[in-house]
Amino acid sequence: TQLLEQSPQFLSIQEGENLTVYCNSSSVFSSLQWYRQEPGEGPVLLVTVVTGGEVKKLKRLTFQFGDARKDSSLHITAAQPGDTGLYLCAGAGSYQLTFGKGTKLSVIP
Amino acid sequence: EAQVTQNPRYLITVTGKKLTVTCSQNMNHEYMSWYRQDPGLGLRQIYYSMNVEVTDKGDVPEGYKVSRKEKRNFPLILESPSPNQTSLYFCASSWQENYGYTFGSGTRLTVV
C-alpha cells in the first residue's frame, strides 16, 4: 500500500497570512491531486499535477509537483476565511487513489 | 448538471441486515470507486472499477461487494453489515485517473 504523509495536520492562521501544506511519499505517482472538503460533503477537486516539476496556479493557490513525482505542496497567499476547510492530497496510479489524512485549515478573520 | 449521485444520504441499520448503497454518474466516466472515511484514518479505497464488468479490490475490501453491470452505476453491497462498517462512504468517478475524480455527497452509515 502506498502512503502519503500530509503536514501539518492542523493549521490555524490569521486572515492575510500565507501558508504551505506539504504532501510527501516514498512512492512515485502518475499524478498528484488536491481536493478540498467541507464537513459532511464529498471532496471537490482543486487541481491535478501530472509532470514532475509542474507548477499550477488557481487564483491565490499555487500547487507544485516534485521533480521525482513523489511529493507536492499547496501554497495559499493572503488566506481568507473562505479558505477554511479540509485540504486533501491524493496520489494516483494503477487505477487507485491514495489519500493523505488531510490538513484542517482555519482562517480567523 | 454533471454529478455523482449516491443514495441514501443517511442510513441506520442493524447488524447482519443486507444493504445496498447506490451510486450513479451522468458523465460517461470509465473509472468509478468507493471510499470510506473515518476519523484519524482518512479516506480509504474499498473497491474500484476500470470499466463495465471490470472491478478490483482497494485497500479495505473485506465485508463489501460491488458490481458494474452498466457504465453509469456502481452499487456498494454490504451482505452482512457489522458495527465496524459504521462510516462515511463516498462514491467517485473519473474519465481518466490523472484528471481527477468527481465525488458524490456521501452516505453516512450507522450499523447498530
pLDDT average, residue stretch A80-90:
96
Strand partners, B15: none
What was the pLDDT predicted at B99? 82
pLDDT in tens, A65-74: 999 989 999 9
Cβ distance of A42 and B40 shorter than 8 Å: no
Cβ distance of B97 and A97 shorter than 8 Å: yes
Quote the mean pLDDT of chain A: 93
**HEC states along B9-60?**
CEEEECCCCCEEEEEEECCCCCEEEEEEEECCCEEEEEEEEEECCEEEECCC
What was the pLDDT predicted at B45? 94
Q: Which residues of B touch A96 (CB under 8 A)?
A: 45, 48, 58-59
> How many interchain CB pairs under 8 A, A with B?
64
Residue B2's pLDDT band (cuts 50, 70, 90): confident
Chain A nearest-CA distance from B36, in A, is 11
- Give kind and range of the element (H or E) at residue B89: strand B87-94
Cis preceding linkage at A39, omega within 30: no
Quote the mean pLDDT of chain B: 95
Q: How far is CA A74 from CA A91, A93, B27, B49, B69, in A?
A: 14, 20, 28, 29, 38
Q: Which amino acid is at B37?
A: Q
- Residue A97 has which C-alpha cell? 487513489
A1 has pLDDT over 70: no
pLDDT average, residue stretch A33-50:
94
Cα A31–chain centre separation: 12
A89 has pLDDT over 90: yes
pLDDT in tens, B59-70: 999 999 999 999
A108 has pLDDT over 70: yes
Q: What percent of chain B has pLDDT over 70?
A: 100
What is the C-alpha to C-alpha distance for residues B65 and B47, in angstroms, rounded to an integer? 8
| Closest chain A residue by Cα to residue B41 | A101
pLDDT in tens, B29-82: 999 999 999 998 999 999 999 999 999 999 999 999 999 999 999 999 999 999
pLDDT average, residue stretch B8-30:
97
